Amino acid sequence: MKISDHCFTRYLERTGAIKRFRQKILQIIEHGEEIEPKHGALKLLNHKMQKATYYRYNQLVAVVVDDTVVTVMLYSKEKWKGE
């Protein structure tokens, strides 16, 4: 059985769990190190030419476009410069 992203988002909103996760997500940016993807041009093409900033904290990477954290992903060293 799969759970859609929409379902997951609504569950977090309706249970209030999203408020508890907000601080954890912001910690990635506050305490994280800015990193660059190895294939930056490809990332721009894949994301509608929106420039993003990437922050790594432990094994998580937060992706920020403008002033919005658009996603959090697991860190994989082969995808990032200097690794």
CA 53 to chain centre: 9
Q: What value does the mean pLDDT of the chain take?
A: 80
**Segment 5-23, tens digit of pLDDT:** 888 888 888 888 777 788 8
Averaged pLDDT for residues 24-34: 92
Minimal CA–CA distance to 61: which of 74, 51, 42?
Answer: 74
Q: What per-residue confidence (pLDDT) applies to 28?
A: 92
- The domain segmentation of the chain, as residue ranges, is 5-79
Helix (H) or strand (E) holding 70: strand 68-74
Minimal CA–CA distance to 62: which of 73, 77, 46?
Answer: 73
